[in-house]
Structure 1
Amino acid sequence: MTQGKLSVTNKAAEAGEKQYGTSSGEAGGPPAPPTYEEATGTSEKAGLSGSPCYSGAYPSDGEMLTEFSWSDKNIRRIFIRKVYSILMIQLLVTLSIVALFTFCEPVKNYIQSNPGWYWASYAVFFVTYITLVCCPGPRRQFPWNLILLAVFTLSLSYMTGMLSSYYNTKSVVMCLGITAMVCLTVTLVSFQTKFDVTSCQGVLFTFCMVMMVSGLVLAIALPYGYVPWVHGVYGVLGALLFTMFLAFDTQLLMGNKRYTISPEEYVFATLNIYLDIIYIFSFFLSLFGTERTN
């Protein structure tokens, strides 16, 4: 009887060794779960890909947007703190340039009389944006990612400042205040609401395509006459679209929704939120801004 019990016990032990990969000389029980670094390192070596990327245009960068699997909340807190720290620096730089181009008459007259600088800054903006969005290497490699982000911020700040210089000073300040209140409200609501905006990618994509086609139609029809109410409707829809994008990008970095950005993509997350805020300000300026009369 004793031998029968021992044989049954030995078989159970052998089955446990086969299941968990342990030997008789090692401690029994299941192995400890891998850490975040081990898990991401293993998936990189194995060539595994997560969920589709943010825009679906980067098949080789599957870790940018993944199903939520952050077990360590400290990683998420550090990630959010880093994103908003860089974002605050970007917004301060942009605000300083807008204020300089709006309040300083010699600078305002110079940039308005030299539009070539605007197109040069637009070319720099386009090149740096494509590089940061489409190339995961420069986007993740320090310090090139921060250098490219700084150049991107300066070029877009110049474009925004030059655009603001054509509007009345009071209207620019008013639009800055409206943008700040809207962005603060959307950020707080995105952190508190239980509604998952990250699951509405199809709606945002369709809305974006409609706005792009409408913008092309307006650009073609503009030489034939300016229709204020049409441009007003376009401005309202544009502000609404990028307000939704701001909520979408904010929830992507929170880590408690269906999709989230990898903590390595702090530059990409900062780039998106900063671009959303600039576009919101631009559409509000086209809605509420009054052109400067010389």
Structure 2
Amino acid sequence: MAWQGVPVYYQDPNQQYYGGQPGYLPNQGYPPQGGYPPPGGYPQGGYPQGGYPQGGYPPQGGYPQGGYPPQGGYPPQPGFAPMPQQGYGGTYNDPEQGMDDGDVKGFGFSEESIRKAFIRKVYSILMIQLLITFGVVCLFSYHMPTQLWVRQHSYLVWVALAVMIVTLIAMACCGEVRRKSPTNIIFLILFTMAESFLLGVTAATYRAQEVSIAIGITAAVCLGLTLFAFQTKWDFTVMGGVLFVALIVFMIFGIVAIFLPGKTMTLVYSSLGALLFSFYLIYDTQLIIGGKHKYSISPEEYIFAALNLYLDVINIFIYILSILGASRN
């Protein structure tokens, strides 16, 4: 029985009742207040009709502030690029929207830093090549026993020429050869040694003083042209086609000069050659710099870039040496 809707509790030796139904006693289980409701539904203070109360699971509309992040993703974390949504400021490098200032955010790299590292690598390789080459040239110019030994083994000139041609064609035409390490390093070393040997044999036909002067002039010219290429606003990378045509004309002129020998012809041909490869040095330098220029070399092509600069410097040296020799002769 119950008084005015208040449930009455009964106890039986074998069974417990709560409101006339099997349940728990107030002193031995869950109390009626806030516990299981009496028959007829949940009392006020339990789970309301129509949804969850405030403070429980979030109401219709999503998660509240402080729970899972709103639409747009997670908030920015240190070291990761923020997402380009309304909830949090900042942008990230969306491949469909392009790169923001060339940065690869979250990894500390940028196009500028990659390009600078590429330039340092190229010029480091170039300096090693030039040191080896001009060291061999000085050895052939100043050491008479070396000159005599080479004259006694003239076949080495043809061996070096074959190695130089094969390695040059392989690096120029085969992308895998010049990109895959250590194959590219091996081919570059072989080419440098063969070219140094041939250049040493050529320099041995000139006076040692002329060789020294040619080396000094070449160093000064190349340094000046490199500084000019770095700071000038003129874009020489668009002149690739013009320089190629000029090279073809120069080669034809060289064939004609073979049949018209003479001091004047040698001076003209050597002067044009030094001028042409000076422009090539500026052109190749700006391809390496990249940035504001229209065309640039990929940072993966550091061997090819060093090879281009090396050939430019060597050709300038050869033609300056020819000018000095023709002037003396």
Q: TM-score range by the shorter chain?
A: 0.7 to 0.9
Query: Does residue 299 of structure 2 align to residue 239 of structure 1?
Result: no
Give matches, 1:107-256, under 5 Å. Answer: 107-219=146-258, 221=259, 226-256=261-291
Select the structure of larger CA radius of gyration: 2
- Aligned twin of 2:54: none
Assess if the C-alpha contact under 8 Å between 1:167 and 1:292 holds in 2. no
TM-score normalised by structure 2 residue count: 0.67
- Aligned twin of 1:32: 92
Distance 1:292 1:100 in 2: 22
Give the root-mean-square deviation of aligned CA atoms: 2.3
Cα displacement (A) at 1:33? 1.8
Match of 2:301 among 265, 289, 294: 265
TM-score normalised by structure 1 residue count: 0.75
Query: Does residue 319 of structure 2 align to residue 288 of structure 1?
Result: no
Cα displacement (A) at 1:115? 2.5
Please give the secondary structure, in 2, of the residue aligned with 1:261: coil
* AA matched with 1:243: S
After superposition, what is the alpha-carbon deviation per residue over 1:39-87, rounded to whole angstroms, capped at 9, x for unaligned?
A: 9xxxxxxxxxxxxxxxxxxxxxxxxxxxxxx952100110000000111
After superposition, what is the alpha-carbon deviation per residue over 1:165-189, rounded to whole angstroms, capped at 9, x for unaligned?
A: 0100100000000000000000000
* AA matched with 1:280: I
- Aligned twin of 1:277: 313
Cα displacement (A) at 1:255? 1.4
Cα displacement (A) at 1:34? 5.2
Distance 1:112 1:211 in 2: 31
Distance 1:113 1:238 in 2: 32
After superposition, what is the alpha-carbon deviation per residue over 1:107-128, rounded to whole angstroms, capped at 9, x for unaligned?
A: 0122134322111101100000
Please give the secondary structure, in 2, of the residue aligned with 1:260: coil
Distance 1:142 1:201 in 2: 28
After superposition, what is the alpha-carbon deviation per residue over 1:209-240, rounded to whole angstroms, capped at 9, x for unaligned?
A: 11111112223x15xxx321011100000000
Give the number of aligned pairs: 234
- Aligned twin of 1:79: 118
Assess if the C-alpha contact under 8 Å between 1:168 and 1:292 holds in 2. no
Cα displacement (A) at 1:206? 1.5
Distance 1:229 1:290 in 2: 8
- Aligned twin of 1:3: none
Assess if the C-alpha contact under 8 Å between 1:167 and 1:291 holds in 2. no
Cα displacement (A) at 1:292? 10
Assess if the C-alpha contact under 8 Å between 1:242 and 1:276 holds in 2. yes
User: Per residue, is there more helix in 1 or in 2?
Assistant: 1
Relative CO higher for 1 or 2, CA cutoff 8 Å, sep ≥ 6?
Answer: 1
Percent of aligned pairs with the same amino acid: 43
1:237–1:211 CA distance, 2 compared to 1 (3 A): same
Distance 2:252 2:94 in 1: 48
Match of 2:132 among 89, 93, 101: 93
Distance 2:188 2:285 in 1: 19
